[in-house]
Structure 1
């Protein structure tokens, strides 16, 4: 849409309204489709996935946030409590998507401006375009940093306000569901986990990287077993951590709170997927288990 608007400016300036109309018609259509998309999006079943995981593991983050969520976004939104390894991937993905659009717009403006100019003027305008590209790249960094800061949760009310905005407009322009990463302060991360656990349709407890030396997810395991039916939880681990993960789950199961929805379950069946190769076949299996969990009562 931005490209079409940019292309319509010059015919309008020159009084060539018919040529401008060629570009403005797609803009009007895009605006209409945007309103239609928002209206339809509210009625779609948003299967909300909460991803809890071992932090600061770039390799596992890459599998989850470049491959798994690529497919999940067609079924629902995903939540996660973000860490630096997540934002390293998230920022790169956003930059690779947005900056080329900026380049295309500048290029189209350049071609319009230099259509009838002499060589000297063209050279000057080319220098201006290069300058704007460099400035744009430098502006994008603080802009992204500010956007990242906006994702910090200051209170439960702040988080609920953001969740309400997601419910009001859950669909992106490409008709997929929006992601919902949050960053928390030391005094709000438990509030964040508590709220998202109750908001999610299904939870993926990613324990790849879980070990005797790295048991950072024990609180989360405790919490989800105390608050979420076990059939809506998928545990994922590596083969070398399988015994430890099973032991940890069993220990936590023995200490369930009396208010837990799992407290009276006599024959619990937890879903535990062992990721060995992290290939497309395993990715499909994880997706199937998550979708099954999202439909569980």
Structure 2
């Protein structure tokens, strides 16, 4: 038996090392960077901007009479959706198309790898059954991709995985029946060896708290770790290069071990510079609307699986190491074609005009509950229209976009904050309102100082088609929310507003606050002349997983009433 070649050793040694180490350190590095990012955002939020004192004319000294009608609070615990609005129907179609494109892309990816394995296994088993088994095993990333795209709750994620494993089990039963030499343990071991390592690594940087920047950090880590290994490998291939490295190390007072680590560090720094340029390129593509945050995450996932799935093929020759990259290219090609064919949609200008815009206001102290609500809206509402919100401590690390994160790393986070009224006007005009290539709309996050958030809130509320006010955990301590409620009553038609409450909401205080604010509603309020003033409040069960369906139905109904 011949000794393995250097290329094979690289493919089965260095390549797995680079991928596994890069993926393993991505999660802790992402968490550390996001913690620093959150602290920097909170510090800037507490500072003052350059805004002048509120220039709005003061209210007249005369006391206005209260509105002719009393404010009625319609508290609903659920809603059976009626016929969907055009935007809601479009969102459902967009989601189905995205799932179909991801399924087709995953099949293309798996087919390439299954075909490669078939080249070496044609002498055993039933060819068709073996191909189907290999296809389904390598299609596991498709399940993760569809889950990322379409699952808004744990139940949906389990259903998607259940369908896949039912198909896998059916194929395994048939294969075991037709191939006596195959055992159930062998089939299970093959699937686990193929998919378990990359899945565990993937889940590490797709956790909710690091998902926003995980793909960017992974790309940078791959570049840095690769640089450290390639430098040592290149120097080790030449005796002259090794002598030069040892001599240089001796001049610096380094021994053999020190020189070795110095080579790794030097290669890592050079590659880190290249990796930073790569991240800047990704950020420019994202800013230019050529890709989306979800597309970046999916690309990172498919690349990770592609590299790991290629490791077992490296023993057949160096060229087979690139099978995973070929599979990734096939996946991207099918995705591109699928998005062009399956999601033609209207032209961007028409889509921007017709898409409903949602303003999300909330109690900042909600923490993980805000993240779960945002995840649900991120999955479903962004298929219909954009979301605007004011940055807060609860979602500071969940909604961060590539350009915002790169500005922070580059020491330019301050330019993301609204400074004054002209700056606010500019940012409102520059909002990302049309769909990305994958059909999803974007989240427009406004970073505000202590003296700029109120003007930003008023402008955003005036232009929103629907407003969601998350009042879970609302209490007398939430002075900012009381200001926002007053502005909604003063300037936004009640038909556009939906409030979210649960058992943690101080309902007595909320009702008293709303009725008090209603008595002093502005003279030019669109709600003052209503014949029936009703504010809808959706009550959800705090002890159960959040169901986004009833909320979406209310929001789409609210947005449809603005037309």
Q: Which TM-score applies when normalising by structure 2? A: 0.37
Measure, in 2, the Cα distance between the counterparts of 1:278 and 1:235.
19
Match of 2:391 in 1: 82
Measure, in 1, the Cα distance between the counterparts of 2:393 and 2:414.
13
- Paired residue total: 231
Q: For the Cα contact (< 8 Å) 1:153–1:185, is it kept in 2? A: yes
Deviation at 1:262, TM superposition (A): 0.5
Deviation at 1:205, TM superposition (A): 1.1
Q: For the Cα contact (< 8 Å) 1:79–1:180, is it kept in 2? A: yes
Measure, in 2, the Cα distance between the counterparts of 1:278 and 1:151.
37
CA RMSD of aligned residues (A): 3.5
Pick one of 33, 42, 50 that aligns with 2:349: 42
Q: Structure 1: where are the runs of 5+ without partners?
A: 4-18, 99-138
Q: For the Cα contact (< 8 Å) 2:391–2:446, is it kept in 1? A: yes
SS in 1 for 2:430: helix
Pick one of 453, 468, 471 that aligns with 1:207: 471
Within a 5 Å distance, the mapping from 1:30-179 to structure 2 comes to 40-44=347-351, 45-91=354-400, 142-143=408-409, 146=412, 148-166=413-431, 170-179=434-443
Q: Does 1:246 align with 2:553?
A: no
Measure, in 1, the Cα distance between the counterparts of 2:409 and 2:344.
27
**Which range moved further: 254-263 or 66-75?**
66-75
Q: For the Cα contact (< 8 Å) 2:494–2:534, is it kept in 1? A: yes
Q: For the Cα contact (< 8 Å) 2:418–2:424, is it kept in 1? A: yes
SS in 2 for 1:73: helix
Deviation at 1:292, TM superposition (A): 0.5
Q: Structure 2: where are the runs of 5+ without partners?
A: 1-290, 300-325
Measure, in 2, the Cα distance between the counterparts of 1:233 and 1:242.
18
**Which range moved further: 65-74 or 46-55?**
65-74
1:286–1:54 CA distance, 2 compared to 1 (3 A): same
Measure, in 2, the Cα distance between the counterparts of 1:56 and 1:252.
23
Measure, in 1, the Cα distance between the counterparts of 2:408 and 2:558.
39
Q: Which TM-score applies when normalising by structure 1? A: 0.67
Match of 2:137 in 1: none
Q: For the Cα contact (< 8 Å) 1:37–1:171, is it kept in 2? A: no
Higher relative contact order (CA 8 A, sep 6+): 2
1:191–1:278 CA distance, 2 compared to 1 (3 A): farther
Q: For the Cα contact (< 8 Å) 1:242–1:274, is it kept in 2? A: no
SS in 2 for 1:249: helix
Match of 1:259 in 2: 524
Q: For the Cα contact (< 8 Å) 1:79–1:179, is it kept in 2? A: yes
Deviation at 1:140, TM superposition (A): 5.6
Match of 1:192 in 2: 456
